[in-house]
């Protein structure tokens, strides 16, 4: 492999660079190596003009007009690209919504007394949710209320006629936009199933019609499945409030048992955190020669335990292999989503136990320790015990933990933000009206080896705060910002004078960590609160979104529901749509006439920031505010 100086082109994060050099020295393959072996990647696939939806194909359209201009069935490039994009939205919405279903099922078992490891941590939020669904709380136990709420939340998935209740949280003007366009979702599962039906051969063959259903399905994710997951997890595990922690690979301990929780669902990781504090487990660790047990997070499971418990995060998506390569991880414990199957073979090169816990996700080379809510804490203890007993197998000659780690302040739920503002968005609105804060930028999304790791994330965010744009962040972007020191109150010194003054007065960072990928729903709630307070639609707000390094189908669904909610969104990696001029035009122009927002694609984070700032300034003018 021999990366040499090329390592500096792969990531801006020094800990990542150090571990890539270690991987090179040890002859270990990583995602970057596999990406290079894939070159050149399929041009037809990149443009979105390859169709495999029936066995008359696969068909492909020649983008240069010298070969086939239609598939065997007669589908044009416009039809093929639109159908492929709809299937990506369906998969992304399904991933988030299945996550939500699992959370609600665990919630229901807790209410029934079948999952005694869990309890209600936020009764006030439980009662607020019950009120939204007209569930009586008077003279009833929290568990009785929870049982009724769980059943009605489960019905949101299978209902055949809308609306999904949480879509009513959107401003009334936004609801009317959805109704006028015919994209107000009916039920979460119904919209996802209809995506698959529409994209079967011989069904929906109008690109605009297909894309509109994509928006409808994505709304059922953002204002449905994702929002349900966020709220139920808050009731079960507590609504996040600001807490200080650390981030990057340097959080791993040389003299302790290191356990990493990785994936996206916190149902088991909450128990892992609790079990790691069990005195019997700590005593066993000391018996095995360790000073204690250290749990660290990775990806969005990491964000979940970070914002609720202050559990340090070891990194974002592209760092999962690098954590194993430190030689200091006793167990990599995974649930679902964004978990590389390469971890199995990699863990076999080290002493690390790669433990798969979800009934729906297995991996080559993994140890199966299947998790079920009824025995959650028992399973968590068994996982901890397995990791602790693995500690003596650590080869100390191979331990290479980077020193890099950064402090971070995290856990800014919508409730925490509004609480810090005195229970009302008015102080933030006043700051926006005065021009101290120009607007809000929501920067989210994955890592992608097609672009330099964390470069887009960090530079886009830095450019926004420098121009007095308050940034809210989730997912891998949030972790990138944490590693770069942007989630500290001291980072206000990097902000423009107006934003800096606001942050220093409140003692908060200029970049607010709002959680995991499903917690983009928190950003929607905050946007709705601002719009309702002003009596406008979300599309009127001086706000913009971005996903600088996105790669997953979930990100496609997220981008679609953010735009469908009225927020202009800039993508940093090119989606597979350029093979259709019609689809590209609809997404970047035409959809604006339907939902009041569009997509843009700009790989350069500095230019992307300019696009967002220009949009924010335009919206300020629309509200009669000074630039």
Residue where a domain terminates, one of 237, 261, 293: 237
Residue where a domain terminates, one of 210, 237, 264: 237
Q: Confirm whether 130 is domain-assigned.
A: yes
How far is the C-alpha of 44 from the C-alpha of 332, rounded, in Å?
A: 36
What DSSP string describes 404-457?
Answer: --EEEEE---HHHHHHHTTSSSHHHHHHHHHTSS-EEEEE-----TTS-BTHHH
Q: Confirm whether 71 is domain-assigned.
A: no
Give pLDDT tens digits for 526-559: 999 999 999 999 999 999 999 999 999 999 999 9
Give pLDDT tens digits for 108-165: 999 999 999 999 999 999 999 999 999 999 999 999 999 999 999 999 999 999 899 9
Give pLDDT tens digits for 66-115: 888 999 999 999 999 999 999 999 999 999 999 999 999 999 999 999 99
Same domain, 303 and 445: no
Q: Confirm whether 411 is domain-assigned.
A: no
Same domain, 352 and 229: no
3-state secondary structure of 177: helix
Same domain, 259 and 232: no
pLDDT of 4 over the 80 cut = no
Same domain, 551 and 596: yes
Q: Confirm whether 67 is domain-assigned.
A: no
Same domain, 458 and 572: yes
Average pLDDT over residues 340-368: 97
Structurally, the chain folds into a number of domains equal to 4
Same domain, 55 and 131: no
Residues 116, 378 contacting (CB under 8 angstroms): no
Same domain, 334 and 478: no
pLDDT of 56 over the 70 cut = yes
Residues 580, 509 contacting (CB under 8 angstroms): no
Give pLDDT tens digits for 429-440: 999 999 999 999
Same domain, 136 and 232: yes
CATH assignment of the domain containing 308: 3.40.50.2030
Percentages helix, strand, coil for the chain (3-state, rounded to 5) are 55, 10, 35
pLDDT of 3 over the 60 cut = no
Same domain, 84 and 214: yes
CATH assignment of the domain containing 149: 1.20.1270.30
Q: Confirm whether 21 is domain-assigned.
A: yes
Q: Confirm whether 244 is domain-assigned.
A: no
Q: Confirm whether 404 is domain-assigned.
A: no
Average pLDDT over residues 576-592: 97
Same domain, 197 and 300: no
pLDDT over 70 percentage in the chain = 99
Residues 545, 569 contacting (CB under 8 angstroms): yes
Residue where a domain terminates, one of 29, 60, 91: 60
Same domain, 529 and 503: yes
Give pLDDT tens digits for 167-212: 999 999 999 999 999 999 999 999 999 999 999 999 999 999 999 9
Selection from 224, 225, 305 nearest residue 263 by Cα: 305
Same domain, 431 and 378: no
Q: Confirm whether 99 is domain-assigned.
A: yes
pLDDT of residue 5: 52
pLDDT of 2 over the 80 cut = no
φ, ψ of residue 373 to 5 degrees: the values are: -60, -35
Domain that holds residue 438: 419-622
Band (45; pLDDT cuts 50, 70, 90): very high
């Amino acid at each position: 492999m021999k990366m040499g100086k090329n390592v500096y082109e792969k990531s801006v994060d020094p800990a990542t660079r150090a571990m890539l050099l270690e991987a090179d020295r040890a002859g270990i393959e990583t995602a970057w190596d596999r990406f290079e072996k894939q070159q050149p990647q399929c041009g037809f696939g990149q443009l979105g003009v390859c169709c495999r939806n029936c066995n008359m194909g696969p068909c492909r359209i020649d983008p240069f007009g010298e070969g086939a201009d239609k598939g065997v069935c007669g589908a044009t490039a416009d039809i093929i690209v639109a159908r492929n994009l709809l299937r990506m939205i369906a998969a992304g919405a399904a991933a988030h919504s299945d996550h939500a279903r699992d959370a609600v099922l665990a919630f229901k078992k807790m209410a029934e007394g079948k999952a005694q490891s869990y309890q209600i941590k936020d009764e006030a939020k439980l009662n607020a949710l019950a009120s939204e669904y007209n569930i009586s709380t008077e003279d009833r136990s929290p568990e009785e209320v929870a049982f009724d709420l769980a059943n009605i939340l489960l019905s949101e998935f299978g209902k055949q006629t809308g609306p999904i209740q949480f879509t009513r949280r959107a401003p009334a003007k936004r609801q009317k936009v959805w109704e006028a366009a015919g994209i107000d979702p009916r039920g979460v599962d119904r919209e996802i199933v209809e995506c698959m039906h529409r994209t079967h051969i011989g069904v929906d063959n109008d690109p605009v019609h297909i894309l509109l259903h994509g928006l409808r399905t994505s709304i059922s994710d953002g204002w449905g499945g994702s929002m349900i997951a966020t709220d139920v997890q808050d009731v079960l595990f507590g609504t996040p409030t600001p807490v200080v922690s650390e981030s990057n690979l340097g959080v791993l301990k040389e003299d302790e048992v290191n356990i990493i929780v990785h994936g996206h669902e916190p149902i088991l990781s909450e128990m892992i955190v609790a079990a790691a504090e069990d005195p019997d487990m700590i005593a066993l660790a000391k018996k095995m020669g360790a000073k204690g047990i250290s749990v660290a997070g990775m990806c969005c499971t990491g964000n979940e335990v970070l914002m609720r418990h202050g559990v340090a995060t070891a990194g974002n998506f592209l760092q999962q292999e690098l954590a194993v390569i430190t030689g200091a991880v006793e167990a990599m414990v995974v649930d679902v989503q964004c978990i590389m199957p390469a971890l199995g073979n990699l863990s076999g090169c080290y002493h690390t136990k790669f433990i798969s816990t979800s009934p729906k996700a297995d991996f080559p080379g993994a140890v199966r320790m299947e998790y079920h809510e009824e025995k959650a804490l028992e399973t968590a203890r068994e996982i901890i015990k397995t990791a602790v007993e693995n500690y003596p197998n650590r080869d100390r000659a191979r331990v290479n933990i980077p020193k890099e780690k950064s402090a971070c302040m995290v856990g800014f739920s919508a409730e925490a933000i509004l609480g810090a503002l005195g229970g009302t968005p008015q102080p933030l609105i006043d700051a926006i009206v005065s021009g101290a804060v120009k607007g809000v930028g929501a920067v989210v999304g994955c890592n992608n080896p097609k672009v330099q790791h964390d470069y887009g994330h960090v530079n886009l965010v830095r450019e926004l705060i420098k121009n007095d744009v308050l940034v809210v962040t989730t997912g891998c972007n949030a972790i990138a910002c944490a590693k770069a020191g942007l989630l500290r109150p001291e980072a206000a010194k990097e902000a423009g004078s107006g934003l800096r003054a606001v942050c220093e007065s409140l003692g908060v960072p200029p970049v607010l960590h709002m959680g995991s990928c499903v917690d983009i729903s928190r950003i929607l709630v905050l946007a709705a609160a601002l719009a309702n307070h002003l009596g406008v639609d979300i599309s009127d707000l001086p706000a913009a979104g971005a996903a600088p390094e996105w790669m997953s189908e979930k990100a496609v669904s997220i981008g679609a529901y953010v735009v469908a909610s009225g927020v202009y969104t800039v993508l940093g990696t090119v989606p597979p749509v350029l093979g259709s001029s019609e689809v590209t035009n609809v997404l970047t122009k035409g959809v604006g006439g339907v939902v009041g927002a569009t997509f843009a694609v700009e790989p350069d984070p500095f230019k992307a920031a300019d696009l967002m700032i220009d949009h924010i300034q335009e919206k300020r003018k629309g509200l009669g505010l000074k630039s």
